[in-house]
Structure 1
Amino acid sequence: MSRRWIKEFWAIIWILCVCVLSLLPFIFFRRVIHNDLAVQALPLLIFGNDAFRSGTVPFWDPFQDCGVPHFSNPQSHLWYLPNQLVFWTSGYSLYSIQYEFIFHFLIAGLCFYLLARKFKLSQAGSCLASVSYMLSGFFIGHSEHMNILATFAWLPLILAGIQGWLDEKSPKNLWLSGIGFWLLIQGGNPSANLIAFFFIGLFLLVRLAERIYDRGFNLNLFREFSQMLLVFIIAFLISGISIVPILADFSEYTGRQQGIPYQTALEFNPLKPWELITLILPSASLSGIMPAFNETGSPTMINCYFGLISLALALFAIYVRRDRSRLILLSLGLFALLIALGSRAIFRGLLFELVPFLRMLKHPALFRGAFILFFCILAGMGLDDLIQADNSALKEFRRAVLLLVVSLCLIFGFASVVSFALTSRDQETAMLLKDIFLETLPIQIALLIALYFWLRSKKNFWSIGILFLASLDLSLMVQANMPLMGQYLDQRTRKILIESVENRSRKIDHITNLTRIDNWRLFQNNGMLYKKFETSDYTSINSITYEKIMNTGFHKVIAEAPFFFIVPAVSMIDQMENALPIFSRAAQKNLMPAMVSEEPPLEIKVRSELLYALESLDSRNVRVINYSINRVELQITNQAPAVLGTTEAFHPGWRAWLDNKPVKTIRFNFAFRGIYLPDPGTHILIWKFQPKSFYLGVLVSSLGIISLGSWILICFLFRKL
């Protein structure tokens, strides 16, 4: 093994060790994931896992509310490669999702190390940059959102491929960008992905402008950028199996076809100016200050920390050398930070007007991830500069460190006095001050003092010493924020949770339990979701029509109504808005309406504003033969022309056969499925969920794979020639 690869190997080992030691409570299961990752992501993954293992593609999820399309749910990540590996190996459990969660931290560190090396940083500088990014406040804050972690874990790999391709012209860099882009699309959060697309495009444009400025526009430059764009197009096409269904259901299931309101885009979870204090105070307890500022928001959107030592080194990099590359990184980082401020700065509003796809994006605070990314590269450059700095620059840095130590000591002293004074009067505020200032500041002061004295030792040991102190700083801050990342479990609770998942039945090809429970319990119903009728709570996808109806209080009726029933007549109302008052009255009196929006067959009776008592609904003449995730088979007996009504959600992918003849699935009560039964008798109804968008997505993915194969073949033949 060459000397260069030995150095790279030890750098990777360092990143691995820092990641493992920092997240040790999760590795040994002393803490367990919680919030969205536990109550939303895990049940969805378990559902997909068990469906695949039963030999079924999980197109439809009957366990969320009244049923939702699982294949087009952007939170399900069915085709994400790490998820597929877990599906077909260990299967999803608390253990596997927790280790996948740790895996994304490690991937972020390794991909960022590669990006830093493409920027010509040393091994030590690249290590510091990758550790700063991997354990930054962005990753710690969003630890409950594994799909956001996935987006920002793979983003450095894409940028590394772009940087490497334009500098080295090596085809392997095109592969890096293409694979990273494909993984980002499959596993990333939609909002975070939009941000990633924006900065990938911006980074490409900046590099293009650089090359044109240096060499002018020529044919070689056109070829370089066209090949890079072709890679992204092919990766996008290969992702069609997940993208096409999401886009097909986008309008009905998000309501954002025209974008979100301007005010929402700017003011839904922005980064508040006072939250910039997290650059030096990374405590999760800062969310407790929000009421004092009359602010609301999520604690996951606060933390901007990427290491106090790393911040000092990033500023030092700009101070020592202001070449074009560093100024670009500085500009991109500050631009991202200003966007994250939402309405507090002009840039988020400007992007809303100028960049169409960013009109779909809430959570401006997510942009701080890009700020941390670019500043971590600067931090690595700062370490390399410090090693090579002359005496005057070194003295300036030492003075800056001393000034920072004095400032933190003053803050610590003031907070201590105020906390002590408030102890007897306002214990809640005193404890808040203690958690924010007195828990982390002493550690940071000690680390900065250690850094100051380390810089007075021999230069040969500076790299490893500074890297150690920076890693220790970040690792200790992770420990301080552990309550935000996961829940502490005692041994008994841990045992119960593990057993409740491990002992579940993995076969869901036939679901016999049709009981609806208006409740939410993790790991029940064979580890999947109960139907929940408190609208919008932890349901990652629902049709807008369904939401509007449920918001009238109609969910109480649905919870008590049978799944399938027969009604002798319906009322016809063409617009859902006109039907909402009827749903409200039905909810108040616990009655079931029977509405259709199109003219029924002549055999079906039509009445004005029909409301049926729940006990009068004929469910005894409907026998469930088969009820599985993509198929429902019923035996129906009707004495006269009637309508089969259901409380099963409507989707155009549901196709129906009545007595082996295709019939139309109607919208019953606008949000639910129904079938006309014009002929009396006993019938067999088969519903199959066969969404056309999935097969179109398969076609697009096949086109992408064929395009990739053709490109590889052409390149191979031209090289041979």
Structure 2
Amino acid sequence: MKKRRPYLFILIVFLIAFLPVVSFVFALKNDFFLGYFPPKFLLSEALKNGQFPLWNPYIAFGLPFYADMNGAYWNPITWIIALTTGYNAYSITIEQLFYVLAGGIGLYKLSKHFTENYSIRLIAAIAYMCNGFVIGHLQHLNWISSSAFLPWCIWGILAINKSGRLKYYCITTIAFLLFISSAHPGMTIGAIYFFIPLVFFLLYNRYKEQQRPALISGLQRFSFLFVLVFISCIGIIVSYADILPFFVRNAKVSLSLSLSENTNFQSWISLFVPFGTVKGQSFFGNDIALRNIYFSLTLAVFFIASFFSLKTKRHYFFFFTGIFFFLISLGGAIKLFAHNYLPLIGYVRVNAEFRIFTIICFILTAIDTFTYYTTHPEFRKTIAQLINVLLVSLACLLTFSFIKLVQGNSVLTSIDTTATTNWRDILKLFIDQIQFFDTLFLHSLIQIILLLFLKKALTQELYSKVLLLTALDVIIATFLHMPFTGVGKVPVARINAIHKQSPYGVPTPKLQPLMLHDTIPNADSALVGDWSFYNKQIGKAKPVLYPVKLKNNYEYYAMLEKDSNISVANFSFVFLSSSIKEDKLNASEFLKQENIQAFTMNNLQLSFNAKEDGYLVYLQNYYPHWQYKNNNSTGKVLKAGTGFIAVPVQKGNNNINLYFSWRTLKLLLIFSFMFLFILAALLFFPIANRILFQKK
């Protein structure tokens, strides 16, 4: 039972801190349902109908499921949910919450490599679980999943460095698979710059401490791990290589874009008063989600104290690695240099995502400093003095904010709630009307009170009390910040009700002009995304907001802006055309609903009599692996217009089978899941444990 208590404590803090989401009273906002939910929902719809999800025909004239970075196709968790409950507003919310909790537990496991003190380990765990990156990006599923498995990957690397037990290889390989398969591409690039130096640092230490035999042993261990990770991720590598030539974002971002989207210097005020970053756009200048780097008052104090206590090579490594990612996330001259000279960095548009590496490095640095504090009484005076400086600084900020509020308007005195009695509307009113100096004043006051109690607890060496204060601290910070960057006004039930309007399964699309496809009110669309993601009809007259775009689709809408004559809005999703070479397609003959013999996401079968030779145009993006059979002829599809697909037809009877097939992908998916099953079996089967994991 004692071994479970730390995890129970982490769970309790998690349930309280994320209560608005855990209770489903508030739904996660913006990109969460607009961008991340649709591909997962459609994948589960395919599986529910016994269809293998290769091609997604509904989003932006079609794209491959397996290479949609928003859908996390290769993430085993995606398949577990899709094959069991299926994806709905509740299941995807639970998935996101699982990632948040997994990150906290992972940091708790990782912290054992740094300290044996349970209080410090739990402080680090809940601080990471509720850190500013997580709270700032609750709406970004593949950012939170990355942060969830990052500490597990670090733990695995350090564990393998200490012991070559097969168990550690299995867990670490699974951790890296989960990280890479669910990560935003920028996070994967950041991980390369994190883990390669970490491995070299560990190898260097082995050589310095135990000379050549230890170095060779380390090289063997990490080489074996690399092979395992590569094998587990081979499907991801092949699928991304497949889409890259056709993907809009397959080149370096422009220099101007590369230097935007930063966690700038002003944002680092969130190290102590994160609530102060939810307003003040003119002061910060960046997106609100990119500003928060908070990881508790306690660890912030000990991180700053590390400037005066750097003692070990490990301490130096994590401190300066954190500084490196801090500089990259700032943008400016450092990012300019990195954009031009460091491989892959120029492909990252949002520099602020690198700050998760800064946060975890600074937390690990703070753990070392905190542990040093518990064993070196002479260092306690330094901490007390540092807290005094912070108290004075916060008092000055409190006073300055109060003066500004007296001179101007404060939401605390000017908010008018007489127009509504609905508590959601009142909360929304408060969020909209609160001012920058309101936030600074409120959080400065809270932090001063917490710091006073923290100073007393540290002085008396009451580390369990420090833990409780830290829990209170991160819960308050999470509650204050979440309405601005994490949750919206409506409950999950409202989102789910809109999703339920989607037709069941994979119905045969209607043969009608694209402009006549079903829509929903704009207010509902603002909550769940474009209804073309859900109406199970193919094509959209206007461009849709979705981050994964194929070049064909992008070029079509770009040309449409210049020449409206090329529009296919008046065509059905499949029609006959006399020519396919011109950008402007013509419909020589329209088909009838009864001409469609069968439809799946990967396949379209038609039977019809053509009046003349020509082409069948299917409004799906031209992409490899599309093939056709027509009577006795077979072949690869042709390109029609700006980038749709076409099949040659002959006068008279035509029996066409259009299908998307890539046997290699299916084999890779089967292989990947079998490999994962073997790794899991080695961990959980009792016989394997006894044979392989017995201590030597």
TM bin (shorter chain): 0.7 to 0.9
Residue 140 of structure 1, CA deviation: 0.7
Give the secondary structure class of the aligned counterpart of 1:110.
helix
Structure 1 residues 77-125: Cα deviation after superposition (integer angstroms, max 9, x where no partner): 1231222221222222221111111111110011111111022342111
The residue type equivalent to 2:290 in the other structure is: M
In structure 1, the partner of 2:368 is: 381
In structure 1, the partner of 2:230 is: 236
Question: CA–CA distance in 2 between the matches of 1:526 and 1:195?
Answer: 31
In structure 2, the partner of 1:186 is: 181
Residue 702 of structure 1, CA deviation: 8.3
Q: Tell me if 1:475 matches 2:475.
A: yes
CA gap of 1:211–1:432, structure 2 versus 1, over 3 A, is same
CA gap of 1:178–1:370, structure 2 versus 1, over 3 A, is same
Mean alpha-carbon deviation: is it higher for 122-131 or for 552-561? 552-561
Matches within 5 A, 1:66-85: 66-85=61-80
Tell me, yes or no, if the aligned pair for 2:266 and 2:283 is still in contact at 8 Å: no
Residue 340 of structure 1, CA deviation: 0.9
Unmatched segments (≥5 aa) in structure 2:
416-431
Question: CA–CA distance in 2 between the matches of 1:188 and 1:16?
Answer: 24
Tell me, yes or no, if the aligned pair for 1:270 and 1:363 is still in contact at 8 Å: yes
In structure 1, the partner of 2:270 is: 278
Give the secondary structure class of the aligned counterpart of 1:636.
strand
Give the secondary structure class of the aligned counterpart of 2:576.
strand
In structure 1, the partner of 2:96 is: 101
Mean alpha-carbon deviation: is it higher for 89-98 or for 163-172? 163-172
Residue 569 of structure 1, CA deviation: 3.7
Q: How many residues align?
A: 660
Residue 418 of structure 1, CA deviation: 1.1
Question: CA–CA distance in 1 between the matches of 2:601 and 2:544?
Answer: 22
Q: Tell me if 1:306 matches 2:307.
A: no
Matches within 5 A, 1:165-244: 165-218=160-213, 220-244=214-238
Give the secondary structure class of the aligned counterpart of 2:302.
helix
Question: CA–CA distance in 1 between the matches of 2:498 and 2:436?
Answer: 40
Residue 242 of structure 1, CA deviation: 3.2
Q: Which of 455, 459, 463 does residue 458 from structure 2 map onto? A: 455
The residue type equivalent to 1:553 in the other structure is: L
The residue type equivalent to 1:665 in the other structure is: V
Question: CA–CA distance in 2 between the matches of 1:651 and 1:562?
Answer: 20
Residue 628 of structure 1, CA deviation: 2.1
Percent identical: 19
In structure 2, the partner of 1:414 is: 400
Question: CA–CA distance in 2 between the matches of 1:570 and 1:16?
Answer: 60
CA gap of 1:63–1:117, structure 2 versus 1, over 3 A, is same
Residue 700 of structure 1, CA deviation: 6.8
In structure 2, the partner of 1:55 is: 50
Structure 1 residues 687-719: Cα deviation after superposition (integer angstroms, max 9, x where no partner): 01113552463487489679989x999x97999
Matches within 5 A, 1:515-554: 516=517, 521=525, 522=528, 527=534, 533=540, 537-553=544-560
CA gap of 1:64–1:112, structure 2 versus 1, over 3 A, is same
In structure 2, the partner of 1:444 is: 447
CA gap of 1:387–1:63, structure 2 versus 1, over 3 A, is same
In structure 2, the partner of 1:575 is: none
Q: Tell me if 1:618 matches 2:589.
A: yes
Matches within 5 A, 1:449-598: 449-457=452-460, 459=461, 462-489=462-489, 495-501=493-499, 506-508=504-506, 510-512=508-510, 516=517, 521=525, 522=528, 527=534, 533=540, 537-553=544-560, 557-571=567-581, 593-594=584-585
Residue 17 of structure 1, CA deviation: 1.1
In structure 1, the partner of 2:622 is: 650
In structure 2, the partner of 1:324 is: 313
Question: CA–CA distance in 1 between the matches of 2:80 and 2:693?
Answer: 36
CA gap of 1:430–1:485, structure 2 versus 1, over 3 A, is closer
The residue type equivalent to 1:682 in the other structure is: N
Tell me, yes or no, if the aligned pair for 2:66 and 2:74 is still in contact at 8 Å: no
Q: Which of 641, 647, 652 does residue 675 from structure 1 map onto? A: 647
Question: CA–CA distance in 1 between the matches of 2:84 and 2:671?
Answer: 28
Relative contact order (alpha carbons < 8 A, sep ≥ 6): 1 or 2 greater?
A: 2
Structure 1 residues 371-393: Cα deviation after superposition (integer angstroms, max 9, x where no partner): 10011112223332333331x42
CA gap of 1:171–1:571, structure 2 versus 1, over 3 A, is closer
Mean alpha-carbon deviation: is it higher for 308-317 or for 527-536? 527-536
In structure 2, the partner of 1:338 is: 327
Tell me, yes or no, if the aligned pair for 2:89 and 2:492 is still in contact at 8 Å: no
Matches within 5 A, 1:604-643: 612=586, 617-620=588-591, 623-643=595-615
In structure 1, the partner of 2:83 is: 88
Tell me, yes or no, if the aligned pair for 2:247 and 2:551 is still in contact at 8 Å: yes
CA gap of 1:718–1:330, structure 2 versus 1, over 3 A, is closer
The residue type equivalent to 1:277 in the other structure is: I
Residue 232 of structure 1, CA deviation: 2.6
Question: CA–CA distance in 2 between the matches of 1:665 and 1:205?
Answer: 49
CA gap of 1:35–1:317, structure 2 versus 1, over 3 A, is same
Q: Tell me if 1:291 matches 2:282.
A: yes
Q: Tell me if 1:405 matches 2:405.
A: no
Structure 1 residues 7-55: Cα deviation after superposition (integer angstroms, max 9, x where no partner): x422222111111110011111121111111111112211111111211
Give the secondary structure class of the aligned counterpart of 1:356.
coil
CA gap of 1:501–1:179, structure 2 versus 1, over 3 A, is same
CA gap of 1:406–1:45, structure 2 versus 1, over 3 A, is same
The residue type equivalent to 1:259 in the other structure is: K
CA gap of 1:236–1:529, structure 2 versus 1, over 3 A, is farther
Tell me, yes or no, if the aligned pair for 1:282 and 1:304 is still in contact at 8 Å: yes
Mean alpha-carbon deviation: is it higher for 32-41 or for 432-441? 432-441
Unmatched segments (≥5 aa) in structure 1:
573-582, 584-592, 595-611
CA gap of 1:700–1:563, structure 2 versus 1, over 3 A, is same
Q: Which of 253, 268, 285 does residue 260 from structure 1 map onto? A: 253
Tell me, yes or no, if the aligned pair for 2:49 and 2:506 is still in contact at 8 Å: yes
